Each structure stands twice: as structure tokens, then as C-alpha cells.
């Protein structure tokens, strides 16, 4: 893309200082990445690294995700990107609210426990509900789904999902984004 001047923004102080060679890279898995980055840096006339706190990196995270998800040919020019800011985070918009007062997994749970279909279910809906429970299993009042790698995923409703997201990103676990804590 013939970029000569580059500004890099990261929420990890650790990575910035390692790339700037102010801190030593000790993890053998990261040494290869550091070597690769140092070779790439040589291609720019000017490059700067700026630490951006976790609370200000949402846009950076979105751009990084977009960059990884897209593929461009070397001689292809970039395209103009129009971005519309949302009043709520995207993950918040993906959580389904209860329509009938029951969580999204209620029909699966009910079929596993009692082999009951929802009232008014037609033949194809019954066939689908019969197949859905594969990989799900209840433990008391909690429903789990076994993932492809064998880990158990807990099924939660919209309210619990919002609570978990809040605790993870804003409340109890805010240090999860701290570069120093990641380095440990």
C-alpha cells in the first residue's frame, strides 16, 4: 500500500516496550513475532508506538478485527471505510431478550427433562427440537452445551449475559486488560 509513515496504537504496554526493545522478550513464542515485527518496521520511514488505555481501545479492536478478517492483494488499493458509531456495544445488540418470559434455551431444556414440545409446535419444529439437544445436558437448573473441544459452555439468558459482560469488562475483572497482569 506504499505507506511510509505509520502510527501504531496498542492497549498492551508490554508489547510496545518489547517492540521498541526497551523491555526484553523472554517468551519463546513471542520472540518470533518480535523478529517479524522488527523486519516490518524497516519498511517504514517513520513509525511510532502509542499506548492507548483499555477504555479507549474499542475502535482499535474493531479495526484490528476487520484487518484480520479481510484479505487484499498486494497491488490492490484500500477502500474507503464508513463507520457508524453505535450507542450500545455490538455484543449487547446480539443478546436476545426474552419474548415470552423464558430464556432462549427453555425449549431445549424442557425437551431434555420431560420430552415435551412447546405448545403449538408443528411437525418440522418438533423435528428440530428433537435434534437441538444433542450436546446439551442439564445439571440441576443449569443447562450446559459441550463445545467442539469438550469444554462445557453454560447457557445463560440475556440478563445474566449482560451481568457477566459488565463484570468482565467494567467491574470486578478490569485488570484482565492490564499489560502487566498479562505479562505475569
pLDDT in tens, 120-177: 889 988 888 888 888 888 888 899 988 888 888 899 888 888 888 777 766 555 554 5
| For helices 123-131 and 106-114, angle between their N-to-C axes, nearest 10 degrees | 80
Cite the DSSP H helix spans in the chain.
13-19, 28-41, 58-69, 90-94, 106-114, 123-131, 158-169, 179-183
Q: Return d(Cα 183, Cα 179) in angstroms, integer.
A: 6
pLDDT digits (tens, 9 = 90+) for 24-52: 888 888 888 888 888 988 989 999 888 87
Q: Which residues contact 51 (CB under 8 A, 6 or more apart)?
A: 9, 10, 11, 12, 13, 16
At residue 160, the 3 state secondary structure works out as: helix
Query: Whole-model pTM above 0.85?
Result: no
Q: Return d(Cα 60, Cα 9) in angstroms, integer.
A: 7
Amino acid at each position: 500500500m506504499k505507506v511510509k509513515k505509520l502510527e501504531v496504537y496498542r492497549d498492551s504496554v508490554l508489547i510496545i516496550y518489547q517492540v521498541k526493545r526497551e523491555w526484553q522478550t523472554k517468551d519463546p513464542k513471542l520472540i518470533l513475532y518480535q523478529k517479524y515485527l522488527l523486519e516490518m518496521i524497516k519498511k517504514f520511514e517513520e513509525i511510532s508506538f502509542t499506548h492507548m488505555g483499555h477504555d479507549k481501545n474499542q475502535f482499535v479492536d474493531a479495526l484490528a478485527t476487520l484487518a484480520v478478517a479481510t484479505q487484499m492483494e498486494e497491488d490492490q488499493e484500500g477502500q474507503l471505510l464508513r463507520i457508524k458509531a453505535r450507542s450500545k456495544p455490538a455484543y449487547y445488540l446480539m443478546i436476545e431478550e426474552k419474548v415470552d418470559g423464558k430464556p432462549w434455551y427453555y425449549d431445549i431444556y424442557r425437551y431434555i427433562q420431560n420430552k415435551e414440545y412447546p405448545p403449538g409446535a408443528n411437525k418440522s419444529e418438533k423435528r428440530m427440537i428433537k435434534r437441538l439437544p444433542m450436546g446439551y445436558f442439564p445439571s440441576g437448573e443449569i443447562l450446559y452445551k459441550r463445545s467442539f473441544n469438550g469444554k462445557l459452555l453454560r447457557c445463560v439468558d440475556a440478563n445474566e449475559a449482560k451481568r457477566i459482560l459488565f463484570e468482565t469488562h467494567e467491574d470486578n475483572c478490569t485488570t484482565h486488560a492490564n499489560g502487566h497482569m498479562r505479562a505475569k
